[in-house]
Amino acid sequence: MAARKYYAGIDLGSTMTKAAIADEEGNIIVKVAGPTGAEHRRLANLVMLQAFKEAGLTLNDIGYVVATGYGRVNVPFADCQITELTCHARGVSHLFPAAGTAIDIGGQDAKGLTISSGRLVDFVMNDRCAAGTGRFLEMMATTLGIRLEEMGEISLAAREKVEISNTCTVFAQSEIVALLSQGRPLPDILAGVHDAIASRVVRMVSSLKVRPDVVLTGGVALNRAVVAAITEKLGCPVLVPEEPLFTGANGAALLAPEMARRAASKGEPVRERHLAELRLYEES
Amino acid sequence: MTQGLEKAAAIYADRSRRARELKAEGKKVTGYMCAYPPLEMLTALELVPFRILGDCGQPVSKADACLPSVVCPFVRSSLDLALKGEYEFLDGVVMAHSCDVVEKTAHIWNIYLKPDFFHFIDVPHSTHSAAIAQHRNLLKEFRGVLEKLAGQKMTDGMLKEAIAAHNRQRALVRQLYDLRKASPPPVSGVETLKVMLAMMSLPVDEGSRLLQDIIKEVKERQPKNSCKARLLLWGSILDSADLIEMVENLNADLVMDDVCTGSRFFWPDVEVTDDPLDGLAERYLVDLKCPRTYRQQHDDYAASLESRFGYLRGYAESWQVDGAIMQSMRYCDIHGYEVPAVRDYFGSIGLPSLYIEYGYSRSGMAQLKTRVQAFLETLDGR
């Protein structure tokens, strides 16, 4: 058997699937992302395969695989599942050892984490609702007829931010249609949209004791205007990793050696793994 | 022979079967809601008490016509089942002013379902002496109403006998809970809740006999060692084992609870006083620890917390729990408002806690599972 000197993490988010591979020294050597989208869900193994390809490795080189994200229970080649909260905390601490608070805004949820000595100690998550998540931004981009990626840049040109009074995604959409018909400029509307999401997230995170350093991760952290709005509302600097999408997958890969040691100490055998398609339900 | 736990699980799965049998035998079955109607009075006149519950597995289809959708989903579901005819076997219904939603629902129930017998106990909401005296008056009135219904006098002797029977059951429940102090616990949280819900579906002595069998069965068990986290569950009513099952499937044992279908309902005995109404009034108003009742606050917050929740420290220590889950039914104001204080209390005794809002549906369970799993991961890192 080949020496299993590498560790893998796979983070199945609602929108994107992310994979990361770490070496024995705890360096992330490869990161790959692909859409989770409805028809891609069963193909998350391809994201993992792509990561192996880029690293020049095979599944046999991997000592332990940790799955995380909302689809974590559906990864047949994973050795264990850890929640995205614990994985994000680990991933964030790896990049920012002094991090005290992390805010992750993903496609369908938002969470706040309190981190102490690199570990998750407390957390808060949004309710079953798209408000304050990436989905909210996606819907607003569609309504305004622009691409998600350009939202941040456009809104930085705002002169007078509009007030979006509804954080409910559906109501906010009709509010925006009304603002457009009043002739309000696009950057002003976008600034209002970003302000709405930032308010919602900051309100949620405030139920934790927010301690610096504050780190923002998740796909929404790519939007500069949201970062600026959150910074303003929190009244302290907000750090954003270069690749904010990968903290969960990185954390999963970095937690894998510890999980492998624990499994070994319990005498659990290393089981054979296959890069099978993941299944979200039992197919007959 | 079917074992006791299996029998209790079967009753949990088909709660009204036994009550229907008893009715066919000519017994009168009286439905009650929440923990406040004094069951001893029903038992004294051989009116079989049967706890009214909802069914989170059934979508609400009829109750929305007479109750707003943004109220306690447990109460909505209970009324819905009644409107669908599932409580037709009840000979009468007793409700109490446990919270405002139950109070409104009680009268809606009476108007729409027109039970042959209906009584509402307007339980006071505080615990000072005038409130206790008032509660005693209400119980005296209830006694008269029941005597008229049964066509029979309820003597002090009969009432004291019924109090003794219910106290015997309470002692057995505490005995079962005591067995869970062992590590690992020989009986799971899911099994325990099913037993408690079965007790609320049977006449008291029949339930106690079943409990005796169950205690014997549990004592004989030899659970394998495990290193699962031991948890305490505080909060709103749980009328299904779904939530506890989700938690216990996550490498945790729910070893103790403060929930009104669990220890909260059974824990305090009724003191047998010269006038039995005195003991009943005191127990149901003062000793029953539901946040629906206002309790005198001290000027000092820490002292307030200690006097209101000191019993939770006792639970945490005796059952050696690693953490607590606070659970509030969605839209349950009385538990929702209590959460920050309970959280502060747990914090003050160094017990990590997690708050979750229970939406009373199976579909919301995946999100709760992520929260509970993450909480367990934080406990694991300690």
Inter-chain contact A86–B377, Cβ cutoff 8 Å?
yes
Extract the tokens encoding A100.
Answer: 């005290």
Q: Where are the alpha helices (DSSP H) in chain B?
A: 4-13, 17-24, 39-44, 73-83, 100-113, 129-150, 156-179, 189-199, 204-220, 242-248, 263-266, 276-282, 301-318, 333-348, 365-380
Decide if B31 is inside a domain. Answer: yes
- Using a CB–CB cutoff of 8 Å, tell me whether B155 touches chain A: no
The pLDDT of residue A274:
67
Best of A73, A86, A121 to mutate (most B CBs within 10 Å, chain B) = A86
Average pLDDT, chain A: 88
The pLDDT of residue B263:
98
Give dist(CA B250, CA B229) in Å, integer: 9
With 0-12 / 13-18 / 19 or more C-beta atoms within 10 angstroms meaning exposed / middle / buried, residue B303 is exposed
The pLDDT of residue B351:
98
List the CATH code of the domain at A98-240. Answer: 3.30.420.40
Inter-chain contact A70–B370, Cβ cutoff 8 Å?
yes
Is residue A18 over pLDDT 90? yes
List the CATH code of the domain at A6-88+246-265. Answer: 3.30.420.40
Is residue A282 over pLDDT 50? no
Give dist(CA A77, CA A5) in Å, integer: 17
For residue B353, what is the nearest residue in chain A, using CA coordinates?
A122
Instruction: Kindly report, residue by residue over A168-194, the tens digit of the pLDDT.
Output: 778 888 888 889 899 999 999 999 999
SS3 A218: coil
Distance from CA of B179 to the nearest CA of A (A): 28
Decide if B144 is inside a domain. Answer: yes
For residue B369, what is the nearest residue in chain A, using CA coordinates?
A83
SS3 A71: coil
Q: In angstroms, how far is CA B127 from the centroid of its own chain?
A: 20
Inter-chain contact B370–A85, Cβ cutoff 8 Å?
yes
Identify the CATH number of the domain in which residue B88 sits. 3.40.50.11890
Is residue A105 over pLDDT 90? yes
Question: Around Cβ A28, how many Cβ atoms within 10 Å?
Answer: 20
The pLDDT of residue B92:
96
The pLDDT of residue A283:
43
Distance from CA of A178 to the nearest CA of B (A): 29
pLDDT band at A21 (very low <50, low <70, confident <90, very high): very high
SS3 A67: strand
**Tens-digit pLDDT string for chain B (382 aa):** 579 999 999 999 999 999 999 999 999 999 999 999 999 999 999 999 999 999 999 999 999 999 998 999 999 999 999 999 999 999 999 999 999 999 999 999 999 999 999 999 999 999 999 999 999 999 999 999 999 999 999 999 999 999 999 999 999 999 999 999 999 999 999 999 999 999 999 999 999 999 999 999 999 999 888 889 999 999 999 999 999 999 999 989 999 999 999 999 999 999 999 999 999 999 999 999 999 999 988 889 999 999 999 999 999 999 999 999 999 999 999 999 999 999 999 999 999 999 999 999 888 888 899 999 999 999 986 5
- Using a CB–CB cutoff of 8 Å, tell me whether B371 touches chain A: yes
Is residue A245 over pLDDT 60? yes
Least confident interval from A54-63, A225-234, A266-275, B309-318: A266-275
Give dist(CA B92, CA B37) in Å, integer: 13
The pLDDT of residue A109:
86
Which one, of A215, A218, A208, lies nearest residue A102 by Cα?
A215
- Using a CB–CB cutoff of 8 Å, tell me whether A243 touches chain B: no
Dihedral sign of CA atoms B31, B35, B41, B43 in order: positive
Give dist(CA B89, CA B74) in Å, integer: 20
- Using a CB–CB cutoff of 8 Å, tell me whether B239 touches chain A: no
Candidates A123, A127, A128; nearest CB to B374: A123
Which one, of B46, B8, B41, B12, lies nearest residue B27 by Cα?
B46
The pLDDT of residue B69:
87
Decide if B337 is inside a domain. Answer: no
Q: Determine the structural domain holding residue B31 and report its residue range.
A: 18-152
For residue B358, what is the nearest residue in chain A, using CA coordinates?
A127
The pLDDT of residue A71:
86
Instruction: Kindly report, residue by residue over A114-125, the tens digit of the pLDDT.
Output: 999 989 999 999
Candidates B370, B371, B378; nearest CB to A121: B378
- Using a CB–CB cutoff of 8 Å, tell me whether A125 touches chain B: yes
Q: Where in chain A are the domains?
A: 6-88+246-265, 98-240
Strand partners, B358: B329
**Into how many domains does chain B fold?**
1
Q: In angstroms, how far is CA B293 from the centroid of its own chain?
A: 15
| Residue located via tokens 């669990």 | B262
CA distances from A126 to A103, A213, B132, B189, B364 (A): 11, 22, 43, 28, 13
Residues 336-365 (B) with a CB less than 8 A from some CB of A: 357, 359, 364
- Using a CB–CB cutoff of 8 Å, tell me whether B370 touches chain A: yes
Give dist(CA A136, CA A116) in Å, integer: 31
Q: How many helices (H) and strands (E) does chain A have?
A: 8, 10
Extract the tokens encoding B122.
Answer: 């307007």
Least confident interval from A102-106, A165-169, B305-309: A165-169
The structure's pTM equals 0.91
The pLDDT of residue B39:
98
Residues belonging to chain A: 284
pLDDT band at A266 (very low <50, low <70, confident <90, very high): confident
Candidates A70, A83, A127; nearest CB to B377: A83
Buried b (16+ CB within 10 A) or exposed e, A147-180: ebeebbebbeebeebbebeebebeebbebbeebe
